[in-house]
Structure 1
Amino acid sequence: MKKASFIQYTACVLIALGMTSVYAHGDSDDLSAASQVPVSPTSGPKEIRRANLMLAKSVRRALVKVKGLDSTNVVVLAKNGDIVVGGSVPDSSQIPLAISTAQGVADVKSVKNALTIKRR
């Protein structure tokens, strides 16, 4: 159990680091107001963080509702409408199911797949 928790924690950290490196190299042209999560222009870090958390929660809720998808070990991160779906699923047929579900959630701009297959 401890090994599985460590692996999940490590996967989350790697995904988070991957997201920050993507944004560090991104163009400012890609960040138009129309493509971001609806946050007022005077929003501070707390409001932005809250919007990101709420979007990730919406995606997780959508994943849990999908029949045929075991989202027990799926991790969702959000930043300005960009979603990273990571963790593991039991078989490869569930990956496109998870990605398409995440893409269908309101306010999601893009979805990056970081899922792996972990047989049980």
Structure 2
Amino acid sequence: MKFTQLLVIASSAVALSIGSASVYAQASDAAPAAAAPATSSKAANRALGRAVKRALTKNKQIDASNIYVRARDGAIRLTGFVPENAQIQIAGDVTQGVNGVSSVDNKLTVRRPGH
């Protein structure tokens, strides 16, 4: 539910910034208008990355303490370590199930605790 609200807010912010960027482009040159969508894209990427990390942390079958998430336009890259081989597949499945994820590049490896 909270993710849905966050997604609505992020979408609204993107739409608002795109709309204001086009108004600005009409009043002046187009170069500064290009910066607005990049900023909102970064915000959307951060929001999606946080949503994936939150989903991984909530899943009791995964130790997400050493999993790092990078989001870019719906594509997610998972890097880091998990203590058991089975957690690699579970993490990929959980990530794919997050709303807004279009692809998962799962680069997780196994590292036993204490090694």
Match of 1:97 in 2: 90
Q: Work out the CA distance in 2 between the residues paired with 1:117 and 1:91.
A: 6
Q: Work out the CA distance in 2 between the residues paired with 1:65 and 1:57.
A: 12
- Higher alpha-carbon Rg: 2
Structure scoring higher RCO (CA < 8 A, sep ≥ 6) equals 1
TM-score by length of 1: 0.65
TM-score by length of 2: 0.68
Q: Work out the CA distance in 2 between the residues paired with 1:44 and 1:103.
A: 25
Consecutive unaligned residues in structure 1, runs of 5 or more: 1-36
Task: Tell me by how many angstroms 1:67 deviates.
Answer: 1.0
Q: How does 1:74-89 map to 2 (within 5 A)?
A: 74-89=67-82
Q: Work out the CA distance in 2 between the residues paired with 1:76 and 1:115.
A: 10
- The AA in structure 2 aligned to 1:96 is Q
Alignment: residue pair count: 84
Q: CA RMSD in A?
A: 1.7
Q: Work out the CA distance in 2 between the residues paired with 1:93 and 1:107.
A: 24
